[in-house]
Amino acid sequence: MANENLNYEFCDKLICDFEKVIKKPITKKSSVYYTGIDLGTACIVLAVLDENYKPVAGAYRYADVVKDGMVVDYIGAINIVKELKQEIEEKLDTELIYGAVAIPPGTDVLDGGAVKNVIQAAGFELTNVLDEPNAANNVLKIKDGAVVDIGGGTTGISILKNGKVVYIADEPTGGTHFSLVISGAYNMAFSEAELYKRDPKNNKELLIVLKPVVEKISSIINEHIKGHDIESISLVGGTACLSGIEKIIEKQTGIITHKPQNPMFVTPLGIAMGCTQKIL
Ligand SMILES: Nc1ncnc2c1ncn2[C@@H]1O[C@H](COP(=O)(O)OP(=O)(O)OP(=O)(O)O)[C@@H](O)[C@H]1O
Ligand SMILES: [Mg+2]
């Protein structure tokens, strides 16, 4: 790719390594472990890096404990983080001490520290609270352009200029809406529609049914990038996994749109990259 701004080499390698260690953790001892905890609306992801910030383990679980960035099931969230933590600790034969989290743009005041409390109650020493766009860009390393995080509950739009986030917004349309549309169109239960959607085999056929929702997301993007000079859009978040979604967005926005190999793990890894040994 001629555009150095859209070089996903670092990101793709990191994610590829992460996908491998989710299946087979690296048990060679590290002097310290850094954990990024992504408490999402649809999915909770733990990403563990070693002393050199290289992936060594990871685990994730689909859960309904957070809605649009707010913790709605506090005890449920703590239990899942505890379980995932323990699962990895057993595999690595170590204790995970340091953790970092991220909160979506704009939820800082509303959240009232719930996300932080979940992490601490699950047994982590909290070392950093990042905002999601900066976490994602720890991995994408984009200088100029828009990062669009299409998660489960929301779509987050951030605009970067010279490597700094200059604009952020979060709108309540995401993968959950995709599943609702599938559920209606195919007469399936929501949970069935969720699983059907995540199966890559079904992506092509689903894109036709889902086109209007993707167009809605595209118009949300257009709304927010209006007036900014955007040369490229990078998609992250689990919903960006849908194959072909980038083409519809590119057509509707008129801006070159790319995504890394597995967009779902960009933010969790970026949170882990922001983890330190300095307890807050
Ligand atoms: N292969 C796939 N195709 C389509 N959608 C997918 C795929 N894999 C995961 N998803 C969807 O991605 C969403 C989860 O993504 P992600 O983990 O980024 O969201 P989240 O962080 O939990 O949500 P939010 O950021 O809105 O709080 C779910 O809606 C899930 O159905
Ligand atoms: Mg998310």
pLDDT digits (tens, 9 = 90+) for 106-117: 766 666 688 999
Report the pocket of ligand 1 as residue ranges, CB < 6 Å: 40-43, 69, 151-154, 174-176, 194, 197-198, 200, 237-239, 241-242, 264
- The atom number, within ligand 1, closest to the CA of 174 reads 26
Assign 271 a pLDDT band (cuts: 50, 70, 90): very high
User: Among residues 264, 265, 84, 103, which one has the least CA distance to residue 168?
Assistant: 103
Predicted local confidence at residue 3, as pLDDT? 52
Nearest-CA residue for ligand 1 atom 2 is: 198
Nearest-CA residue for ligand 1 atom 20 is: 40
Task: Provide, rounded to the nearest whole percent, the portion of the chain with pLDDT above 70.
Answer: 95
Tell me the C-alpha to C-alpha distance, in Å, between residue 192 and each of 19, 63, 197: 25, 15, 9
How far apart are the C-alpha atoms of 272 and 9, rounded to whole Å?
A: 18
User: Do 159 and 167 touch, CB atoms closer than 8 A?
Assistant: yes
Nearest-CA residue for ligand 1 atom 24 is: 151
**pLDDT, mean of residues 238-252:** 97
Assign 47 a pLDDT band (cuts: 50, 70, 90): very high
Predicted local confidence at residue 1, as pLDDT? 41
CA of 7 to the centre of ligand 1 (A): 23
pLDDT digits (tens, 9 = 90+) for 49-68: 999 999 999 999 999 898 87
How far apart are the C-alpha atoms of 171 and 225, rounded to whole Å?
A: 13
User: Among residues 266, 14, 13, 8, which one has the least CA distance to residue 151?
Assistant: 266
Q: 178 pLDDT exceeds 60?
A: yes
Predicted local confidence at residue 5, as pLDDT? 55
Residues lying with their CB under 5 A of ligand 2, a single-atom ion: 40, 151
* Token duo for residue 271: 């949170």
CA of 170 to the centre of ligand 2 (A): 11
Q: Which ligand is nearest to the CA of 174?
A: 1
Nearest-CA residue for ligand 1 atom 1 is: 198
- The atom number, within ligand 1, closest to the CA of 155 reads 26
Nearest-CA residue for ligand 1 atom 15 is: 238
